[in-house]
Amino acid sequence: MSTAVITGIALFLAALLGGRAIAERNLKMLGQEERDRLVDVLTRYRRVHLVPLAIIFVWYLAGSRFIEGSRWAVQYSVYALLCAYIVGVNLFVYRKLRGERLPERYLRGYLVSRLVTFAGLVALVISLILGEGSLAM
C-alpha cells in the first residue's frame, strides 16, 4: 500500500471519529421527546437506505466480472456512486429532521458532523485514485 493510501485511510478514520464525536455531543442537547422523534425518523428510513448500496455492490461485482477491460471505469463509477449516495442520504435525512422541527442548533451540528465524515470519505477516495487507484491489494 502506498503512503497516499495509508494517509487517506488515516484521514478517513480520523474524520469518522471526529464526525461521530460531534454527533454525540450534538445529541446531548436534545430533550427526551426530541430524541424519541429523532430515533423514529432514522428507524423509519433505515431499510430503504440499504437498497441503493445493494445496487452499487451488484454493479461493482457485475461490472468487474462481465465488462472486459473496464476495471478502472467500474471502480471510479463506484467511488462516484458511493459519494452521491452518501450526499443524497444525508440530504434526505436532513430534510426529514427539519420536518420534525428539531432545534436549529441540532440541525447545524448534524450538518457539521456529516460534512466532516464526508470530507474524510473524499480524502480516502482521492488517496485511492492517486495512490493505487484500487481497493484491491
User: Residues of the chain with pLDDT > 90: what percent?
Assistant: 38
Q: Where are the domains of the chain?
A: 3-131
The least confident of 3-17, 43-57, 75-89 is 43-57
Residue 66 CB coordination number (10 Å): 9
Give residue-wise pLDDT tens across range 19-39: 999 999 999 989 999 898 888
DSSP character for 132? T
Q: How far apart are CA 19 and CA 13, in angstroms?
A: 10
What is the total residue count of the chain?
137
Residue 2's region, left for phi above 0, alpha for psi from -120 to 50, else beta, is: beta
Which residue type occupies 107?
L
